[in-house]
Structures are given as C-alpha cells and as structure tokens.
Amino acid sequence: MDNENIYDAAYSEAHIVEEGEVKNNFEEQHKKKNSKKKRGNGNGFAKYIAIALICSLFGGVVGSGITYVIADKGNNSTKSNNSVVTDPVSFATDNTALSAADIYKKVAPAVVMVSTKSIQSVNGWFQQETEGMGSGFIINEDGYILTNYHVIDGAKEVTVTLSDGREVTASVVNYDADQDVAMIKINDDIEVPGVVELGNSDALQPGEEVLAIGNPLSKELSSTLTKGIISALNRSVETESGVSSNLIQTDTAINSGNSGGPLINTKGEVIGINTLKASDGAEGIGFAIPINDVKDKIDSLSKPILNLGVSIRVVDEPLAKQLNLEEGLYVVEVNEYSPAEKAGLKSGDLIVKADGTRIKTFEELQEIKNSKEEGDTINIEFIRDGKTKNTTITLTSTSSTSSSESTTN
C-alpha cells in the first residue's frame, strides 16, 4: 500500500448524475476549490490521511469507494486554529448533567434513519439503483430534519424511518453543500415522536463528555447510543473534495450510517452534527459540525431551493481577454421547461447583470437569488450576438439536489 495513502475511505459516493444531467453547482465548486488547494509542501509532496464520510451504501454497483483525505502539510493531519483553550474551566454539576439513560430517553425519539435511492451510471453504458443510509434529527413539530448534505446528495427518493418504526417519505428542502448540511421535511402531516433541543457549541471544552445517537452500519443497529469525550475543538479538516470546516473532534464511536446524527452534551442538547471519521486503522477520531455554525442557517435552509434552470461557466478576466468577451456568466445549457427557458434565455448568452447589479461570479448570482422568495422575479441583463438584452425570470422551487443552477469547467 502506498505510504502516502494510509487508509482507504469507507464511503462510496452518493451523488449520481444521470445521462444528460448537469452536476450540482456545489460539487463543481468543490472541484474548483480542490484544484486550488492541492499544493505540495516544501519538499515537493504531501502526506495524506483518509477521512471517510460516514454514510452507508447498500447494493448497487460494486467497486472502490471515493477516498476523502486531509493533507498533512507539515507534521499534523489536522490543524487547530487555537493551540490552547483559554476560557475559564467549568464543570457540569449533578443538577445539570443527565445520565446516559436519561439523555437517550430525551433525544432518541427525535433521531431518524434517512434512506435514499439514487441512480448510478456505470461506465457510461447502463444505470443501476444504489441505496444509501444515514441519520438525522427532527428540529420542530412540522417535521423538518437536519442531516448531512452527503447523505441526500443525488437522491431521487428519500425515506425517513422514525424512532417508533413508522416509515414516511420526505423531500429535500434546501442544503449547503460546502458545509455538508441539508434540511429535509417529512411529506405527510404527522405527529412526530420527538424534537431535539439545540445547545451552545461555543461553550464546549475538550474533555467534556458527549454522546452520539445514530444508525451505524445497518438498519438492524438503528438508534445506537455511544459515549465519549470532546477530544479537541476548532479542527480544520480539508477533504479531497476541497471542503474545509472548523469541526469538533471526538472519540465517541461513530461509524458508517452515523452521518447526520446528533452529537449531544450531558444536558441532552444537540451540540454537533456527526459528519466525518478517520477511516481504516484509526480508532476514536471522529468529527462533527458545531451546531452554532448551523443555527443561523436554519431559517434559510427551511426555505425551498429557488431554481433558474441553467448551467453556466464563469468567464473570468483571463478567459474574457482570450475570447474577446466581457466578464460574466456564460450560459452553457438551459433546462427544458425551466424558468430561464420561459424567460427566453438561450445557450450562448452571457449574463452580466442581475437586478441591476454587475455580476462576474456564480456566487454573486447566488447571493441575489437567495435573497428572493418563490414567485419573486430577477431582472437579467445579458449579451447575445454582441447586443445587450434584458429579461425577467420568475423563480420556482425545486426539491432536487441536482436540478438547480450548476457551473461547468
């Protein structure tokens, strides 16, 4: 085995792209980030330690999984933004700390199993269904559930198994692929068995006891409780996909299928979303997204994805000079029956303004779009055949992780 690739990842990619389907824009952004971030260290190479996304796949195509790695730029495979914690030490008292059994009774009813079905193309010749499994937790009585983006990435069907055994269908509401967070919602109007209480991840300190509830390895092991401590805070982990996040490191046992499940403090509050673990050969090294990093996004994640229905390529300054074009967003493809098609946009158009604001990057367009509600409009100024034109696009929502705007290389 190559010494520079110490472990193999235990996760096969859940994102599926059908024939003729454009990849999700966040995936493309990851690739761009990855191409920029992969640099050798001073001696010309970087060591890698594999990090596995902890979501299980079943059936489907047999083959190697995707390896997610973190670069060892120096002596460490992860970096801490703060070498020491300087906050005053505080300890939970008997009045605030619950037993593991009480925590389980409080939180487990709100923890769910998230099962997905995706279609995978094999060697470009045929397609095969792949099933995946992860975890999630209910955050309100309306049936909204937080989980990881990689759990539902590319899913064509989402099924939620509640703690009482009921199986219900769910839809993807919205997601932040960069942070690996997604919101799904139970489709039926039902009484949920439980709702979690969100804690304060900023108050955490290394050494504090934490617990995890999830569905490791298989459906037969659903609602498994494990216990450990916080090993470190503010871990900066860079995966092969190019995503960096400041994460909670824990030795609490988390395995494939735990993705999206809660990391819980001794008050029975959710203080993190389990997302990564060091793979084969490394025990007791798991990572969770701090819940405070997600709280501010809950409102926006609870709103549907607004869709223009275009695939674009960014025309930056060097490319603009090379092609004798203005900087902007080049329309590579317009989806059939999409809002963009209805507004008259065509392949080959160059978008230069949105609502009167000059735009040169995909993120600038997204920022304007994300300030809107379903049914709102965006005024688009674009160049076609050297002439400036204008159109108005009415935004619609989509529940797919692969049908909104995308970028191409």
Q: How many other CB atoms are found less than 10 A from the CB of residue 207?
A: 11
Phi and psi at residue 86, to the nearest 5° = -100, 0
Closest of 192, 175, 193, 194 to residue 183, by C-alpha: 175
Question: Catalytic site residue 259?
Answer: yes
Question: Catalytic site residue 30?
Answer: no
Closest of 167, 139, 138, 181 to residue 26, by C-alpha: 181
* Contact indicator for 120, 72 with CB cutoff of 8 Å: no
| Positive or negative: CA dihedral 275, 215, 166, 140 | negative
Task: Choose, from 12, 118, 150, 402, the residue flagged as catalytic.
Answer: 150
* Contact indicator for 154, 118 with CB cutoff of 8 Å: yes
In terms of DSSP H, where are the helices of 257-316?
292-295, 298-301
Task: Choose, from 56, 163, 180, 338, the residue flagged as catalytic.
Answer: 180
Task: Choose, from 259, 311, 338, 402, the residue flagged as catalytic.
Answer: 259
CA pair distance 248, 230, nearest whole angstrom: 7
CA pair distance 180, 286, nearest whole angstrom: 15
Indicate the DSSP class of residue 47.
E
Question: Catalytic site residue 180?
Answer: yes
Which residues carry out catalysis? 150, 180, 259
